[in-house]
Each structure stands twice: as C-alpha cells, then as structure tokens.
Structure 1
Amino acid sequence: MRITIERSNLLKSLNHVHRVVERRNTIPILSNVLLRGEGQSLEMKATDLDLEITESTPAQVEQSGGTTVPAHLLYDIVRKLPDGAEVLLATTTDGSAMTVASGRSKFSLQCLPVSDFPDLNAGTFSHSFKVKGSDLKMLIDRTQFAISTEETRYYLNGIFMHTVEAGGDLKLRAVATDGHRLARADVVAPSGSEGMPGIIIPRKTVGELQKLVDGVEGDVSVEISDAKIRVTTGPIVMTSKLIDGTFPDYQRVIPSGNDKEMRVDCATFQAAVDRVSTISSERGRAVKLAISDGQLTLTVNNPDSGSATDEVPVGYDNDPLEIGFNAKYLLDITQQLSGGEAIFMLADAGSPTVVRDVAGDDALYVLMPMRV
C-alpha cells in the first residue's frame, strides 16, 4: 500500500474513527485502525466489537492495499504534523510496518494483518428512513444527560427510541431515565419509521452519534434491526449493537394529575440554583424550594460549611409548597430548555414534578424530589 493524502483530510477522518478505540485493550488488534487504499480514496475503520465507524476520504493511491496500525498513535502523529502538509503512508513489502512520512519527519509503525481485524457483521435491517440531522441531534441533546450509569440496570444505560402516536401525529420519541429523573423528546416521525422496533441505543454510541450529527445540515440515513443500528452521514458510516433488554414502561412514572403550576424565568432560576448550590456538599446536593404567592425561596443547608438562600420571582397562585431537589439535576434539566420560561407542574413534597419548556411540548422532564 502506498498513498499520499492531505494532512487535514487524514486528521479529520482519524478524529472521527479513533474515538471508538479504547485506550486499553486486551486484544491487540482492537487498538488498531484499519486503513485500506483503493481507487481514489482511503477507507478507515475502527471498532470495539460493539461499535464500528468507517469513513472514506479522498487520497492519491499509488499502490492499493490495506493494513492496520495503532489508532491513537497514528492520530497523535498526524495531529503534530504542520498544517497543509502532504502525508505519505507506505507499507513495507512484508506488511509488518508502515511508514508515515511528511517533509523531513518520518515514522515507522508496527502493523497487524488486515485478516485479523474484526468485522461487525450488520446482517439485514428491517427498517430504514432518513431524518434531519438537526432533529436527531435535538432528540439526543434533550435526553442524553438522564442516561443511567448504573451497570446493574443495564437496560437504562442508553436512550430508548421508538415511534408513538401523540396528539394525532406519529412521533419519533427518545426517552432516557436513571430512576431519579426522566427526559423525553419528540420529533415528527420520518417516513419509513412506522412500525420500527423500540430500540435502546447504548451510552457510548449515543455520545459518538451526537458528535457525528453535530452541524449536519441535511438528512441522515438510519437503518434499524432488532439488534443493530446503522447511521450514515456523508462518507461516515456508524454501526452499533443495541442494548438487549426491555426498557421499563416510562409512561407510568409521568404524573398526569399535577395541578400546581409554577412559571419561572429560566436564566434567573438557573443562576440562583447555581449560586446556592455552591455551599452544598458533594454527597447531598439538595436544594429546598419554598414556593408561595409570586415568590420562590431557594435554601441550602450544609452542616459542614453553612447555609445559603436566594429569592426569585415566579408566577404561582396556589397553596404554599416546600419541595427539595438535587441541584445538579435541576441545572441539567434547565440547560435543555430553549424557551425563556420553565413551567414546573407540582403536586406535593413527595411526588414527582413535571418540567416543561414554554417554547413547546416536544420535550418533557420528570424529576423525583429529595428529602430536605
């Protein structure tokens, strides 16, 4: 294999694929990126056996062929080469090493054979559709923060995506929960998604998908089966296994009888929560909300360091109520709201609270209270 490629093209593609590769691997081949030069392009592929990303980029292929080299090492080398440089990638005749040369810089990297590189066999996909990159990004951005990190409840370690009838329309819905909070977001279901199986996209895949669709103007192609998802945008193809489990019936935890409405300016509320939580301990990040007619008082008490209070004007004309929440969870939710106002639907101090955006009903959040 002998290829000449612009540094910027090589770096951009490596930046996408090398992130999949774990820093520590017991299987040496999984530390490598597969490089294959054919026609007028260089194809790169990286995998961790659950997630695979491939990308093609233009290159001058003098001699076609393929090899695998350490992904993070190659990325670091290319990153440190000067802007605008041309990079030569050439393997030795026996295929045991690859030269990376640019200007006066020259590196020799050890290779492993292409035949050892695993292929994430995608099989056949039962459903395929095109969705706007901005819609897919919105679904992920609004729900990702609520994904559970608790390995024992593995079925919560991702975003549940499915189609649902809502308000007379078919919606593509994303849901995530960790048992303390729940995030739900909807977009109009794209053509072809009807009847798709409900899938749980793993946390790592969600993170890569978020970066993949960032700034994508047009449509993204999505293919789904019971066990895998494939997303294609331009020259990048991402294939991932799905979480094999049953997502709980999340509708049951969304309260419908909360009748106490509090409206608050999002930025003012966020700043106040952030200020008072400065004094809270890492373990108990509880902030008490005392709501009365037109006013919200936030209080934090920390036996080790002191106390803090702050007041915020609110729209509220119901019975006074005191309720406690985790300050971090409050901030996570308010950061997702795009409108100027947040709407809190409350019941009592021990019941879950629903938070909505004044900008629309395409996203909804449920927050469990804390004892304070």
Structure 2
Amino acid sequence: MQFKIERTKLFSALSHIQNAVEKKNTIPILSNILITCQNSNLLLTATDLDLSMVEVVAGEIISDGATTTPAHLFYDIVRKLPDGAQIELSTDNENSQIIIKSSRSKFSLPCLSKEEFPVISNDDLPHNFQISSKVLKKLLDKTKFAISTEETRYYLNGVYFHKPDNVDNPVMRSVATDGHRLAYTESKLPDGVSDIPSIIVPRKAVSEVRRLLDQFDEDINVSLSDAQMRFNIGTTTINTKLIDGTFPDYQRVIPEQNNKFMKVDRSDFVAAVDRVSTISTEKSRAIKLSIESNMMKISANSADTATAYEEVAIEYDSELIEIGFNSKYLLDITSHVEGSIINFSLSDSVSPAIITDDSDSQSLFVLMPMRV
C-alpha cells in the first residue's frame, strides 16, 4: 500500500473520525484506524463496535492495499505536521509497519492486520429519508443537553426520535430527559418516513453527528431500522447501533394543571441567575425564586453563611409562589431559548415547571423543582 496526500485533507478526515476510537481499549484492534487504498480513494474507518465512522478522501494512490495503525497516534502526527505539507504513506513488505514521510520528517508506526478489524455493516436499511442539516441541528441542540449520563437507566442515554400520534400535522419529535429535566422539539415530518419506527440514538452518536453538522449545510441522507441508523454527511458515513430499550412515557411528566404564568426578559434573567448562583457551592447549585406581582426575587445561600439576592422585573399577576431549582439545569434550559422572552408555567413549589420560548412554539422544556 502506498499513497500521497496533502496534509490538510488528511488532517480534516482524521479529525472527523478519530473520536469514534475510545482512548482506552481492552481490545487492541479497536485502538486502530483502518486505512484502505482502493479505486483512487483513501478510506479511513474507525469503530468502537457500537459506532463506526468511514471517511472517503481523494489522494494519489500509488498501490492498493489496507492496514490498521493506532488512531490517536496517527492523528497527533498528522496534526503536528505543517500546513500545506505533502505526506506519503506506505507499508513495509511484511505489512507490520506504516511509514509516514513528509519533507524531512519520517515516522514508523506499528500495524495490525486488516483481517482483525471488525467488519462494518453496509446493509441497506428499510427506512430512508433526507433531512436538512439546519433542522437536524435543531432537533439535536434543543434536546441533547438533557441526555442522562446514568448508565443504570440506559434507555435515557440518548435522544428519542419518534412520530407522535396525538398531533394534527405529522411531525418528527426529539426528546431527552435525565429525570430532573426534559426537553423536546419537533419539525415537519420528512418526506418518505410516514412509518418511521420510534428509536433512541445513543449519546456518542448524537455528539459525533452534531459535530459534523457544523461543517455541512446541505441535506443529510438518513437510513434506519429498529436496531441501526446511518447518517451520510458529505464524505463521512456514521453507522450507529440504537439503544435497545423502551423510552418512558414522557408525556406523563409534562404538567397539564399549571395555572400561574410568568414572562421574563431572557438576558436579564440569565444574568441574574448566573450572578446569584455564584455563591451556591453545593453540588445541587440551588437557587430560590420568589415570584410575586411583577417582581421576582432570586436568592441563594451557601454552607458558610454567604448569601446572594437579586430582583428582576417580570410579568406576573397571580399569588406569591416560592420555588427552588438547580441553577445549572435552569441555565442549560434558558441557553436554548432563542427569543428575548422566557415563559414559565407554574403550579406550586413542588410541581414541575414548564419553560417555553416565545419565538419557538415547537420546543418545550420541563424542570423539576428542588427543596431549598
């Protein structure tokens, strides 16, 4: 195997896929990236068995072949080579080493046989559709912050995509929750997916897809089955297993009886919560909102008797309510409100709050209160 390639092209491709490789692996081959030269293209493949990424790069192929080499070491070497450098890669006669040459630099890295590398499934999946990168960004951005990191509740470790039945116009809805907060948003159902199955996309796949979308503004080709999902984003293909579990009935935690409504300027509220929460040193980062006619008092206390207090003007005409929240969760939610006004729908000090955005009727957030 031998090929030549410009450093920027190779670095861009490696930066796309090297995150698929876990930093620590008990299976040596999973620390490696598969490098394949065929049909005038260079294919780079990385996997952790649950998620795989394949990148196609144009290069000058001198001789076909394939091998594997340590992914993160290879990435670091290419990253440190100067911009514009020409890189030549080749394997020795035994295919036990890959040689990287660039100007006066030369590196030799160990290889493992390509036969040891897991076979990446490229089977056709039954459901196929296109979705704009802008819409997919929104479906992920508005929800991924609420994904649970608690491994015991594995079915919450991803974003739930489904087609809800209780709406007039067909939509695709994305939902995530960690039990303390819930986020959902939706968009018009893409053409060709009237029978889309309900699926849970794992956290790592969500992160990798979202990262690639920053560099791609065109439509995304998506294929899926009940167990697998594939994203074709430019020259990168991401295959991921789906979480095999049942997402809870999230509609049950969205309160329907909240009858106290508050509007507040987003920038004023976010700044005040951020300032007051500075002294809340406990893990819970607790703050208290005292809400009365057209005025909200935000306060916090710390174990060493420090206190903070700030008033914020609001629109509110119901009776006094005092409610506590985790300030980090509150700021996470408000950072995804794009309009200038945040709407709160409340019931009492122990019931969940609904938070919505004046500028986005398709998104909704629920935040559980806490005792303060």
Query: Normalising by the residue count of structure 2, what TM-score does the alignment of the two structures yield?
Result: 0.98
Cα displacement (A) at 1:213: 1.4
State the partner residue of 2:146: 146
Cα displacement (A) at 1:119: 1.7
Cα displacement (A) at 1:254: 0.6
State the partner residue of 2:20: 20
State the partner residue of 2:172: 172
Cα displacement (A) at 1:193: 1.8
SS of 2:197's partner is coil
State the partner residue of 2:222: 222
Cα displacement (A) at 1:122: 5.0
State the partner residue of 1:63: 63
Whole-Å separation in 2 of the counterparts to 1:185 and 1:217: 20
State the partner residue of 1:213: 213
1:337 equivalenced with 2:337 (yes/no)? yes
After superposition, what is the alpha-carbon deviation per residue over 1:261-280, rounded to whole angstroms, capped at 9, x for unaligned?
A: 10001111001000000000
SS of 1:5's partner is strand
State the partner residue of 1:349: 349
After superposition, what is the alpha-carbon deviation per residue over 1:45-100, rounded to whole angstroms, capped at 9, x for unaligned?
A: 00000000001011000111111010000000000101100000001111111100
State the partner residue of 2:255: 255
Whole-Å separation in 2 of the counterparts to 1:242 and 1:137: 19
SS of 2:276's partner is helix
Whole-Å separation in 1 of the counterparts to 2:90 and 2:122: 31
Q: Which moved more, 1:157-166 or 1:108-117?
A: 157-166
State the partner residue of 1:89: 89
Whole-Å separation in 1 of the counterparts to 2:67 and 2:215: 32
Whole-Å separation in 2 of the counterparts to 1:59 and 1:122: 23
Write out the 4+ residue segments of structure 1 that deviate beyond 3 Å after TM superposition: none
Q: Percent identity?
A: 48
**Match of 1:134, as an amino acid?**
K
After superposition, what is the alpha-carbon deviation per residue over 1:231-258, rounded to whole angstroms, capped at 9, x for unaligned?
A: 0011110000011000000011111221
After superposition, what is the alpha-carbon deviation per residue over 1:120-156, rounded to whole angstroms, capped at 9, x for unaligned?
A: 3354412110000111111111101100111111100
After superposition, what is the alpha-carbon deviation per residue over 1:165-224, rounded to whole angstroms, capped at 9, x for unaligned?
A: 565211111000010100001011101221111101111111111102124211001111
Answer whether contact 2:216 2:234 (CA < 8 A) is retained: no
**Match of 1:329, as an amino acid?**
Y
Answer whether contact 2:276 2:300 (CA < 8 A) is retained: yes
**Match of 2:311, as an amino acid?**
E
Give the direction of change, closer, same or farther, for the CA distance of 1:215–1:101 in structure 2 (3 Å limit).
closer
Whole-Å separation in 2 of the counterparts to 1:93 and 1:206: 40
State the partner residue of 1:303: 303
SS of 2:164's partner is strand
Whole-Å separation in 1 of the counterparts to 2:274 and 2:119: 47
After superposition, what is the alpha-carbon deviation per residue over 1:322-368, rounded to whole angstroms, capped at 9, x for unaligned?
A: 11100001000000011011000011111101000010211100000
State the partner residue of 2:36: 36
Whole-Å separation in 2 of the counterparts to 1:322 and 1:7: 59
1:107 equivalenced with 2:107 (yes/no)? yes
Whole-Å separation in 2 of the counterparts to 1:169 and 1:215: 31
Answer whether contact 1:337 1:357 (CA < 8 A) is retained: yes
State the partner residue of 1:280: 280
Cα displacement (A) at 1:303: 2.6
**Match of 1:22, as an amino acid?**
E
Whole-Å separation in 2 of the counterparts to 1:192 and 1:354: 33
Answer whether contact 1:128 1:192 (CA < 8 A) is retained: yes
Q: Any stretches of 5+ residues in structure 1 without a counterpart?
A: none
Q: Which moved more, 1:167-176 or 1:128-137?
A: 167-176
Answer whether contact 1:185 1:364 (CA < 8 A) is retained: yes
State the partner residue of 1:319: 319
Whole-Å separation in 2 of the counterparts to 1:259 and 1:16: 48
1:120 equivalenced with 2:109 (yes/no)? no
State the partner residue of 1:190: 190
Whole-Å separation in 2 of the counterparts to 1:193 and 1:312: 46
Cα displacement (A) at 1:8: 0.3
